Amino acid sequence: MNGSKPAKRMRTDCLVNGDQSSEISCMFTLLHDVLEKEFTCAICHEILMSSTVLGCGHCFCAYCIYTWLRRSPKCPMCSRSSHRVTHLKNVDNFIKQVYDLLQPTEIKVSRAHDLEHRARQILLAKPDENTSVGDLTSSSIEESSASSSSFTADSSILTISTSSDTDSVR
């Protein structure tokens, strides 16, 4: 053998049953496992809500990263200086579609409630032009649109400047 580790396998053990309801349940479990593995915020350890990405490529919930950047203008994962936060609308749409298709109703309702609560938190956490010099001193938001396969990807880019001379919002 070449000494390399074998690739990890996804859980497929529940697909051998043949019962349609258990197969649907299993598909939900598999997709939920993928969401938890690939779309989890490294700060709150939940599936992304209002997903964002930093210039270094690490993804976080908008509320989590705005709160983090008020304390330190560096990525919590790699410690690179982070002056730009981009909203990932296509990731939010994908996660929403997975929840809409496969989640039981009570989980969808709970997620919708969590998203509404998080949206209110984001409004309070976003840096603005009135942020103190000790924290972030200014921000600018640029709106852009792009499309990706079947998803619409409207991106909001938040640029954070740490110089006290700049005080503009575009």
pLDDT in tens, 85-137: 999 999 999 998 888 877 667 777 888 888 888 888 888 776 654 443 333 32
Q: Is the confidence at residue 19, as pLDDT, over 90?
A: no
State the pLDDT confidence band at 140, using cuts at 50, 70 and 90: very low
Taking the CB of residue 69, how many other CB atoms lie within 10 A of it?
A: 25
Instruction: Please indicate whether residue 114 or residue 162 has the higher confidence score (pLDDT).
Output: 114
C-alpha radius of gyration, the chain, whole number: 19
| Domain boundaries defined on the chain | 16-161
For the ranges 35-39, 79-83, 134-138, 158-162, the lowest mean pLDDT is seen at 134-138
Q: Mean per-residue pLDDT for 65-84?
A: 93
Average pLDDT of the chain to the nearest whole number: 70
Instruction: Please indicate whether residue 6 or residue 88 has the higher confidence score (pLDDT).
Output: 88
Taking the CB of residue 152, how many other CB atoms lie within 10 A of it?
A: 12
pLDDT at 14: 55
Q: Is the confidence at residue 167, as pLDDT, over 60?
A: no
168: nearest Cα among 135, 129, 130, 133: 129
Q: Is the confidence at residue 77, as pLDDT, over 90?
A: yes
Taking the CB of residue 92, how many other CB atoms lie within 10 A of it?
A: 21
Topology annotation, domain 16-161: Herpes Virus-1 (3.30.40)
